[in-house]
Every structure is written in C-alpha cells, then in structure tokens.
Structure 1
C-alpha cells in the first residue's frame, strides 16, 4: 500500500469515525481506492452507491480543509458518479 493511501485512509477514518450510512468509494487517481460504509473505512474497490474520483492532491486538500469539495466538483477536479445526495452528505462530513 502506498504512503498516499495510508495517509488518506487515516484522514478519512478520523473524519468518518463511525463509517458512513451507505457505501462510498474514494478513488485516488494512480493510487487506489478507499471504501467508507457502515462497517468503517478501509481499502477496497467494492461496488458503491457513490464514487468520488480525484487526484491525491485534491483529496488531500479536501481532507485538510484547504479545498472546498463543492468548488472542486464545479471546477472538474472532483468527479462524482452515483447518488449526488450521498456526495453532498460526504462533503459536509469531510469539511
């Protein structure tokens, strides 16, 4: 597992200590993916209700609070596939 995924996994686990009510996948381009579901946060590439895809730098900015998830989406730095309502819930949880 890459250091980028280790850092992202730790940051997401801290932001979502109780997991997520549905299944969300975070795809870090060129690195891998992380799943957040009712069981917690872990590495994985499972089917998801919503998938968020971005560069590792964009995800790092979102998790550190330097990048607004909505603005990242509006400028094309964050791609969302699936349930937009769930993506909005994640955006609130990660901010």
Structure 2
C-alpha cells in the first residue's frame, strides 16, 4: 500500500461515518501524512501536517493490516506498532471505523 491508496481508503471510510466531527492525522513517517478534517462539510482529506485532535502514527503496512483485518489496532498499540497522541476516546472510535 502506498500513500495514495491509504488516502483513498481513509476517504471511503470517513464517508461512511457521518458525525465524527474531528480532525485526525495519520502519520506514516517517511511515507507521508494523511490529514482528515470532518468538522467541515464535505470532510477535507489532504496531506497537510496540520493540528489534529488525535494523531495515529504507524507504518503503512500496519495501517493496511487494520483495513484488511489482518492486524488488530489494539494489539498493534500494545506492541508499540501504533502510537496515539491526543484524544484516546477518538482513537477508539477510529478503531471501529477502520477495521476491515
């Protein structure tokens, strides 16, 4: 999975979750950033490094596992493969949204 594929997947998942009302940053390290602002209508999805309510940091391969169901986000978090900065409650909402 590359950054464009991740962006498209995120865009599709966000479209299925009206009412999220948050700013989320997915930080994939050297592979780039996907920023989602669902406080706007329609939601803004881009590659800006903007302030967010929660930032999820992981490798693109780990993120791909979340989407296809082969990687549990909770286990990834406990193993240090996923780092969360900001609202843990929002991160848990995203967990349910992203799982494959």
Query: Same-fold call, TM > 0.5?
Result: yes
Q: Structure 2, unaligned stretches of length 5 or more?
A: none
Q: 1:56 — aligned with what?
A: 60
Q: Does 1:89 align with 2:93?
A: yes
SS of 2:49's equivalent in the other structure is coil
Q: 1:5 — aligned with what?
A: 3
* Off by >6 Å, runs of 4+ in structure 1: none
Q: Deviations over 1:30-58 (max 9, x none)?
A: 11100122123222210001000001110
Alignment of 1:32-43 (within 5 A): 32-38=32-38, 39-43=43-47
For the aligned residue pairs, the C-alpha RMSD in angstroms reads 1.6
- For residues 43 and 13 of structure 1, the distance between their equivalents in structure 2, rounded to whole angstroms, comes to 12
Q: Structure 1, unaligned stretches of length 5 or more?
A: none
- For residues 70 and 40 of structure 1, the distance between their equivalents in structure 2, rounded to whole angstroms, comes to 27
- Count of aligned pairs: 93
Deviation at 1:66, TM superposition (A): 1.3
TM-score where L is the length of structure 2: 0.85
Q: 2:30 — aligned with what?
A: 30
Q: Is the 8 A contact 1:12 1:63 kept in 2?
A: no
Deviation at 1:8, TM superposition (A): 0.3
